[in-house]
Amino acid sequence: MILVTGGAGYVGSLLTKELLALGETVRVVDTMWFGDPFPSHERLNLVNGDLRNPSPAWLDGVDAIIHLSGLSNDPTADFAPELNSEANVFATRQLAQLAAEKATKDGKPMRYLFASTCSVYYAPTSADQANVSVMTEDMPIAPTANYSKTKRLAEIELLRIADKYPLFVPTMLRKGTVFGLSPRMRFDLVVNVFTLHAWRNRRLTVHGHGEAWRPLLHIRDAVDAYIHLLNAPQERIRGEAFNCVHKNYRVLELAHWVAEVIEENYGVEVAVKRDRTGNSASRSYFVSGDKIARELGFSADRGTAEAVKSIWEALERGDFGLEPEKDPRYFNIRWLKDTLMAGANA
């Protein structure tokens, strides 16, 4: 059995579906803040649980863990810094400790695939500083933003536990910004939101200079990467970090590309504008995915064009309602605010 934490989320809901299709038995532990995206399945065990208080019973019969749970972007981390630390560091450590102890007791290795992020590399930059170095896994990193800092601290915790428990097998997958359709859709990710704005407004606005670099990753390549790691030789992945990216784009270049895909395929003209009225500083990080290809033979080959088209067509069908831009379920920070406020007023 494979335990997928955060399995009802953006990546997790698609990953769980794919694992079931491959014949795996899956246990999903999730707070279900965004609802249950799964139809009933005989090999799917859903647990409504908070990873800040993990139960050893969640690991019963489990052979590997894919840990996706936690806050997943800068706005949510900045809005709720204490929750960010608890969910991204404390919960990761608690579950890892249980997994390491179980591996030792059973005398069998326990893989622990951790959802990290390429944003651990980012640094604020102005337009004339945007030609940053290519980031690789062996570079020293010390992120300062709330979100990326907790992801790095969680990586360090996993390595510390691995030093003490030889049968604990942690692997850190540092994903680029993910894009594409999911059963639990998000429109707060750059390709997805560009497509939504193009559909709704026929215009894309790039804030700041637009010269910053972003590494991107198709959601189906993210899913495939986790499955690949489940089957990779243990000695090649234990204690290793792997960047997982398809391509690095400048944000302004990406906006023009999304507009071009839409115009070529649907005959809809989309204007691209720059808004320089705000802070011109922006995140910029150009990340290499060579290591995972070289060491494990995995390549993230899916591009943005097919994702843009599938999202556009889903919007046209009304899959997300008539006004998805107003629905907080598709935006993590809006939903988090609504959830916390509802809890405070209960």
pLDDT in tens, the chain (346 residues): 999 999 999 999 999 999 999 999 999 999 998 889 999 999 999 999 999 999 999 999 999 999 999 998 889 989 989 999 999 999 999 999 999 999 999 999 999 999 999 999 976 555 444 456 899 999 999 898 999 999 999 999 999 999 999 999 999 999 999 999 999 999 999 999 999 999 999 999 998 888 889 999 999 999 999 999 999 999 999 999 999 999 999 999 999 999 999 999 999 999 999 987 765 456 788 999 999 999 999 999 999 999 999 999 999 999 999 999 999 999 999 988 887 666 544 4
Q: Which residues lie closer than 8 Å to 119 by C-beta, 6 or more apart? A: 74, 143, 145, 147, 148, 151, 283, 285
Q: Which residues lie closer than 8 Å to 110 by C-beta, 6 or more apart? A: 62, 63, 64, 65, 99, 100, 102, 103, 167, 168, 169
- Residue 68, Cβ density class (10 Å: 0-12 exposed, 13-18 middle, ≥19 buried): buried
Q: In this predicted structure, what is the pLDDT of residue 283? A: 73
Q: In this predicted structure, what is the pLDDT of residue 147? A: 94
- Long-range Cβ contacts of 37-46 (<8 Å, 24+ apart): 37/8, 37/13, 37/183, 37/184, 38/8, 38/13, 38/183, 44/16, 44/20, 45/1, 46/8
The backbone region for 321, taken as left when phi is positive above 0, alpha when psi lies in -120 to 50, beta otherwise, is left
Q: In this predicted structure, what is the pLDDT of residue 201? A: 96
Q: Would you list the domain boundaries of the chain?
A: 2-345
Q: What is the pLDDT of residues 66-89, one digit of tens each?
A: 999 999 888 998 998 999 999 999
Nearest to 229 by CA among 169, 177, 181, 185: 169
User: Which superfamily does CATH assign the domain made up of 2-345 to?
Assistant: NAD(P)-binding Rossmann-like Domain (3.40.50.720)
Q: In this predicted structure, what is the pLDDT of residue 297? A: 97
Report the alpha-carbon distance of residue 12 to residue 239 in Å, rounded: 22
> Two tokens at 175?
């994903």
- Whole-prediction pTM value? 0.94
Determine contact, residues 175/217, Cβ cutoff 8 Å.
yes
Q: Strand, coil or helix: what is 299? A: coil
Q: In this predicted structure, what is the pLDDT of residue 344? A: 45
Q: What is the pLDDT of residues 293-302, one digit of tens each?
A: 999 999 999 9
Q: In this predicted structure, what is the pLDDT of residue 124? A: 58
Phi, psi of 209 (to 5 degrees): -75, -25
Sequence-ordered alpha helix ranges (H) in 118-212:
146-164, 190-201
